[in-house]
A and B are shown apart, each in its own frame.
Chain A
Amino acid sequence: MSEIAPAVIHRAPTGFIRKWIFSLDHKVIGIQYYFLALLSVFIGMTLSILFRLRLAWPTEAWPLLGKIFPVGFEGGPMTPEFYLSMVTMHGTIMVFFVLTTAPQSGFGNYFLPIQIGAHDMAFPVLNMLSFWVTFVSLSVMVSALFVQGGAPISGWTAYAPLSALGQVAGPGLGLGQTLWIISIALFCIGSLLGALNFITTTINLRTKGMSLMRLPLTVWTWFTTAILALLSFPVLLAGGILLLLDRLGGTSFFIPGNLVVSDKAIAHSGGSPLLWQHLFWFFGHPEVYIAILPGMGVASQLLSTFSRKPIFGYRAMVYAIFAIGMLGFFVWGHHMFVSGLSPYSAIAFSLLTLTIGVPSAIKTFNWLGTLWGGRIRFTAPALFALGFVSLFVSGGLTGLFLGQTSLDLMLHDTWFVLGHFHMIMGVAAIFGIFAGTYYWFPKMFGRMMNESWGKLHFFLTFVGVYAIFLPMHIMGIMGHPRRYAQATEFKYLAATQPFHQFITIATLITAAAQVIFMVNFFWSLFKGSKAPENPWESTTLEWTVPSPPPHDNFGEKHPVVHHGPYEYGVPGASKDYVMQTDSPNS
């Protein structure tokens, strides 16, 4: 049965519902995930603007907002509880439904099968299920905003015991927190189904000639990310079950004895809030890499393409990706240095954390090596890839401050931490998403995005995010703790108020700049110029098929791969790049 024409497994659907809603096609599912993330990022950004207003002008009443959120603006200014619920929902929605969803499930679903020469994922039905479970999860999460008491106020980390106690601990910790936990549990299940699919597909469905060392680096990062998800989400699920039982089943896993909250004695006894922190961060740290690794893959792919040079040190890149992913499982304790952790384990966690700097530095060095001497084409996707590297370095360096115990004692839970993780896990990953969007939009939708608007969007956003997140580091060093709704209440924080106002103004401008992206996106979707098959002169397999690719990607035949993924500037070649499927002698 070697060379007969393959039967198409699930034929191209004809009805609207089978084609666009309950689709089995990995490309449609990828687009569904992408739009889910786009909706989520809009919600998350709106929430951040709301709480930024409170931070900059804490006593200002907002009559218009008061009409929309009567509970949150009782008596004029935003209540501190409402502020906390906004912060919680912003963090949760951004981390789970944007940073985990868009780069991995969105782009990964769309491009992993095409880049390895497969017709679809290994299990299309599971793939569809994973999207719809994620969709239900998002719906449950958003519904927490509208229930009695509002959204939870426990932060995206939902630290016990407050998250375990119910309504008595504060508004939003009743039904809102329960919905939050259920949503996260559903998200875990959806991610597990997706991870299963990604790993199986990468191992089993590679086309002829696509050896492991010929995989595009994007595939390596999606694959590694899937392994991280497969092994870390179950632990979050375990924590979520325990937390739910503490709230609904009367158990005391996380609730210590002799607790008095809101002047009420709590009946539970004997539990440990630290247990939640261990379970949460065992998931939480790999989650950081789940968010950032796909961005690294996109940056590698784009920097090589747009500097017209092979990626510098392909093998080192692959090993670095894996090293970062695996080390990520052994560093969760660095989130808990101030929790009374034994100093010996703190030292171990600290050393392992700083070790991650080595593969990260290898990657950064290789990106710079790739750019060195290249004929760089400064297109919009290339700019965002460069921006990714810049933000990755800026955010990564502050990780060295937080990763060792002595400085962390002072910086823990301050705005320094917010600046750090927003730089590296937040906007660096977002830049990875933007880079991927500008780069792959022609392939996904068959039309080009507008370059000039893309560049304008890049420069405004790039300057904007630095304006937002750099001052946070200084505020942290000044001692400003996170989660405070109002710095003006404290004399020693009075000097930080101008920073808050500056950041809020920068936020408003940067958020407005995203309108440029949205207009460009939707305008190009319908009116952009038709995209050719390979507009960027890239080498990987997705650029060998029409834009957008047909239902079964490669039609009747499987591509055969003869080349590595990044063969640019090959001496003696007729053009300055060699496609992976070009004949061996070209």
Chain B
Amino acid sequence: MPATIAAPEKETEQKTRDGSGGRGRIFGDSHSGGGDSGRWGHYDPYGYGNSSQSSRLAMWLCMASITMLFAGLSSAYVFRLGLSSNVRSIPLPPELVWNTLVLLSSSVTLEFSRRSRQKSHQAAFRRWLSVTTILGLAFLLLQFQIWQQLAWQGIYLSSSPHASFFFLLTGAHGIHLFGGILGLMYSLSRAWFRGETANSGGTALEVTAMYWHFMAGLWVYLLLLLFFWRS
């Protein structure tokens, strides 16, 4: 009886695709770049699963989870303001326009930096990367000033639902953006002190750039949600 156990139903199918599987091509390109492999990353003799590719995938996943965080907070915002007759209490602070311009231009300068790196323009690469970092810090400073001005006007976290969500959403964005600034500073220090050239490294910068643009997009979304939704 045991000898007549049913043959594995998938067996023939699996055998025909022998050796064809195992490629992580779901996300990202499958070129084996990334001079970072060999730090904490993974050596891989078959050229898949290199550190650069894994880092990119991890950043996509990270952005997915941050999206869920802000989706949760946004749905709370929509739900909570739906219960309130007083939909908006904070008028759009004019400084936010400058702030937004600073953040968006930092995304542009980061792209300049990456272009320069690809063209092996070392000096331009460093310069634009420094400008991006300074713009990022400037954004946070301006943001801090806006919070302070609101407080001087007597608008606090607990003043109204709209104020609560304004401080919460911009604050959560600021904390996440600070993580991006740390990433920029890391790339910056490698560019300045380790003499990193266009041919080496770069995974950290690529991943930081993904994150940085994501943060810019998230900021625009939050502004639209806070000040233009149901206006």
Indicate whether A260 reaches chain B with its CB closer than 8 angstroms: no
Residue B187 lies at the interface, judged by CB distance under 8 Å to chain A: no
Judged by a CB distance under 8 angstroms, whether B64 is at the interface is yes
Q: Mark B58-81, 1 if CB is under 8 A from A, else 0.
A: 100110111011111101100110
Which of B7, B19, B39, B68 counts the most chain A CB atoms within 10 A?
B68
Please give the number of chain B residues whose Cβ is less than 8 angstroms from any Cβ of chain A in the complex. 60
Given A211-B17, A252-B161, the answer on whether A6 and B65 have CB atoms closer than 8 Å is no
Q: Is the CB of B42 within 8 A of A239?
A: no
Task: Identify the closest chain B residue to A313 (Cβ).
Answer: B9
A562 on the B face (CB < 8 A)? yes
Contact with A along B9-22 (1 / 0, CB 8 A): 11100110111111
Complex interface residues of chain A between 183 and 203 (CB less than 8 A to chain B)? 192, 195-197, 199-200, 203
Kindly identify, within residues 233 to 290 of chain A, every residue whose CB is under 8 Å from any CB belonging to chain B.
233-235, 237-239, 241-242, 245, 249-253, 270-272, 275, 278-279, 282
Cβ of B40: which chain A residues have Cβ within 8 Å of it? 9-10, 24, 123-125
Closest approach, in angstroms, between the C-beta of A214 and any C-beta of chain B? 6
For residue A503, CB closer than 8 A to chain B, the reply is no
Question: Considering the complex, which residues of chain A in the window 529-586 have a beta carbon less than 8 Å from any beta carbon of chain B?
Answer: 558, 560-564, 566-571, 584
Which residues from B are CB-within-8-Å of A232?
Answer: 68
* Residues 127 to 176 of chain B near chain A (Cβ within 8 Å): 156-158, 161, 164, 168, 172
Give the docked Cα–Cα distance between A562 and B14 (Å): 9
- Is A119 in contact with chain B by the CB < 8 A criterion? yes
Task: Give complex CA distance A7, B11 in Å.
Answer: 35
B76 interface neighbour in A122, A238, A566, Cβ under 8 Å: A238
Q: Does A213 lie at the interface of the complex (its beta carbon under 8 Å from any beta carbon of B)? A: yes
Report chain B residues within 8 Å CB of A584: 15, 18
Contacts of B46 in A (CB 8 A): 2, 207-208, 558
Q: Could you say which of B48-56, B97-105, B113-121, B223-231 contacts chain A?
A: B48-56
B158-A252 in contact (CB<8A): yes
> Which residues of A sit under 8 angstroms from B72, Cβ to Cβ?
234-235, 237-239, 279, 282
Contact of A203 among B57, B158, B161 (CB under 8 A): B57
Q: Does the CB pair B53–A204 fall under 8 Å? A: yes
Whether the Cβ atoms of B22 and A373 lie closer than 8 Å is no
B interface, over-half SS:
loop
Residue pair A245, B53 in contact (C-beta under 8 Å): no
Q: How far is the CA of A8 from the CA of B61 in the complex (A)?
A: 27
Docked-complex contact B41 and A9, CB < 8 angstroms: yes
**Chain B residues within an 8 Å CB radius of A124:** 40
Q: Is the CB of A6 within 8 A of B43?
A: yes
**Bound CA span A250–B84, Å:** 17
Query: For the complex, is A357 an interface residue (Cβ under 8 Å from B)?
Result: no
Question: How far, in whole Å, are A522 and B122 apart by their CA atoms in the complex?
Answer: 60
Report the separation of the CA atoms of residues A483 and B7 in the bound assembly, to the nearest whole angstrom: 52
* Chain B nearest Cβ from A144, distance in angstroms: 24
Cα of A10 to Cα of B43 in the assembled complex, Å: 10
Check A119 against B22 for contact (C-beta < 8 Å).
Answer: no
Which residues of chain A come closer than 8 Å to B1, judged between CB atoms?
A: 373
Which residues A307-355 have CB closer than 8 A to chain B? 308-310, 313-315
Size range of the chain A interface in the assembly = 35 or more
Decide: A230 and B64 in contact? CB cutoff 8 A. Answer: yes
Check B42–A241 contact: CB distance below 8 A.
no
Q: With A230-B65, A249-B157, A570-B8 as given contacts, are A208 and B22 in contact (CB-CB < 8 Å)?
A: yes
Contacts of B168 in A (CB 8 A): 241-242, 245, 251
Q: Which residue of A lies closest to B71 (CB)?
A: A235
A-chain residues with CB within 8 Å of residue B22 when the two chains form the complex: 206-211, 561
Question: Are A375 and B8 neighbours in the complex by a CB distance under 8 Å?
Answer: no
Residues of B contacting A197 in the complex (Cβ-Cβ under 8 angstroms): 58
| In the assembled complex, A3 has its CB within 8 A of some CB on chain B | yes
| Closest Cβ neighbor of B83 among chain A residues | A272
CB distance from A511 to the nearest CB of B (A): 38
Query: Is B47 part of the binding interface, using a Cβ–Cβ cutoff of 8 Å?
Result: yes
Q: Does A120 contact B (CB under 8 A)?
A: yes
Q: Please, how many angstroms separate the alpha-carbon atoms of A326 and B9 in the complex?
A: 27
A45 within 8 A of B: no
Enumerate chain A residues within 8 angstroms of B27, measured Cβ to Cβ.
203
| A487→B49 CA distance, assembly (Å) | 59
Interchain nearest-CB distance for B40 vs A (Å): 5
Q: Which of B14, B61, B68, B172 contacts A213 (CB 8 A)?
A: B14
CB distance from A120 to the nearest CB of B (A): 7
The reply to whether A374 and B5 form a contact with Cβ atoms under 8 Å apart is yes
Chain A residue with minimal CB distance to B26?
A203
CB distance from A98 to the nearest CB of B (A): 23
For chain A, residues 355 to 409, give those with C-beta under 8 angstroms from any C-beta of chain B. 373-375
- With A122-B49, A270-B83 in contact, do A211 and B5 touch (Cβ < 8 Å)? no
Not counting A123-B54, A196-B62, a sample of 7 additional A-B residue pairs whose C-beta atoms are within 8 angstroms of each other reads A2-B45, A200-B54, A209-B19, A270-B161, A563-B15, A567-B11, A569-B7
Sample of 17 A–B contacts (CB below 8 Å):
A119-B43, A123-B58, A125-B40, A192-B65, A199-B61, A200-B57, A204-B53, A205-B42, A230-B61, A237-B72, A249-B157, A278-B79, A279-B72, A558-B44, A558-B45, A564-B14, A568-B5
A-B pairs, top 8 by smallest CB distance, nearest first, are: A211-B21, A238-B72, A250-B158, A310-B8, A234-B69, A569-B5, A234-B68, A235-B72
